[in-house]
Amino acid sequence: MLNHTRVIRIRFKQLRKSKGTQNFVGSENGVSGTMIRYIENGYVVPSGKLMLKLSSYFGVPVEELFPDVAKNE
């Protein structure tokens, strides 16, 4: 049985909502709306490249968008 603790990325979701729908933010960043939903709800950890792109897009540090990843260094 897979034991995966999912972390809802609240700040990511707030910033995404300020920019628009999951589909819109995804298309602005070269990924699907589904990928944005999976990132937002903690089902996937995006690549470093995508983390940096999203950080730049939202204008916040990577650590603010992905605090769960920063903790696991």
67: confidence class by pLDDT, cuts 50, 70, 90: confident
pLDDT for position 72: 61
Q: What number of other Cβ atoms are within 10 A of residue 26's Cβ?
A: 19
Domains and CATH numbers, the chain: 10-71 (1.10.260.40)
Residue 4 confidence class, pLDDT cut points 50, 70, 90: low
Give the integer Cα–Cα distance in Å for 55 and 49.
Answer: 10
pLDDT digits (tens, 9 = 90+) for 11-66: 999 999 999 999 999 999 999 999 999 999 999 999 999 999 999 999 999 999 98
What are the angstrom distances between the C-alpha of 30 and each of 4, 50, 68, 70, 72? 27, 9, 23, 24, 26
